[in-house]
A = this chain, B = another copy of it.
Amino acid sequence: MARLIEELKKLPGIGTKSAQRLAFHVLRSPGEDADALSLAIREVKLHLRLCSICNNITDVDPCGYCTNPVRNQRVVCVIEEPTNIATIEKTRSYNGAYHVLHGTLSPIGGVGPEQLRIANLLTRLGEVDEVILATSPTTEGEATAGYLAVELRKAKGDLKVTRIATGVPAGSDIEYADEVTMTRAMEGRREF
C-alpha cells in the first residue's frame, strides 16, 4: 500500500492526501477495475510512441495525419506540443501535415535546438512546399520560429516559410488590445 501511494505521488498534481485517497479507492474497487487500470498504464508505454515523421503521439507509425491521402502532405504546420494539433484541427480550415517540436527554445530553461525535434523536420523537406510556423507568439515561441526560419531556409532555399498572424483576437474590442498586439495588428495589416 505504501509503495502504491509513493508511486501515485509521482503523478503531477497528486499530493500525499490525494495519493492516499486514490490508493484506498483502488483497494476498495473490484479486482477487474484495478487490473484494467494497471494494464492501461502498461499498454500506453508499450504501444504509444512518437510518429517517426512528425513526432505526434500515435499507436501506429507513421501516424494517421502523415499517411492520410486526403491531407496535403506538401504543407507542414510546425507546433510546440501534440495537444496543439487539436487546437488547429478545431478550426476545420487546415488540411496539411504537422510537425511536433515537443517544446520551445528556452535558454533559461536549458532547452537548446538539440533538445527539440528539429532534425527530422529538416530531413523531410524534400516533399514539402510550405512550412507554417505555428508556435505561440510568446517570447519562447517567437525565438523558436525565428531560429527555425533560418535553419529551414538553409536546408531548402526555395521553401515557403510562413508565420501565423499575431493580432487582435476575433470578437474582441481593440480597446482591450495591449501595445504589442496592437503594434503587430497594425504591422500585419492586409489589403482588404
Inter-subunit contact B138/A171 (CB<8 Å): yes
Interface status of A91 (Cβ within 8 A of chain B):
yes
How many A residues face the partner with a CB closer than 8 A? Answer: 55
Interface status of A175 (Cβ within 8 A of chain B):
yes
Interface of A is mostly: mixed
Which of A29-37, A52-60, A182-190 lies at the interface with chain B? A182-190
6 residue pairs of the A-B complex, CB under 8 angstroms, read A88-B174, A132-B189, A135-B174, A162-B189, A164-B185, A167-B188
A interface, CB within 8 angstroms of B? 79-81, 83-84, 87-88, 90-94, 132-139, 141, 145, 149, 160-175, 177-192
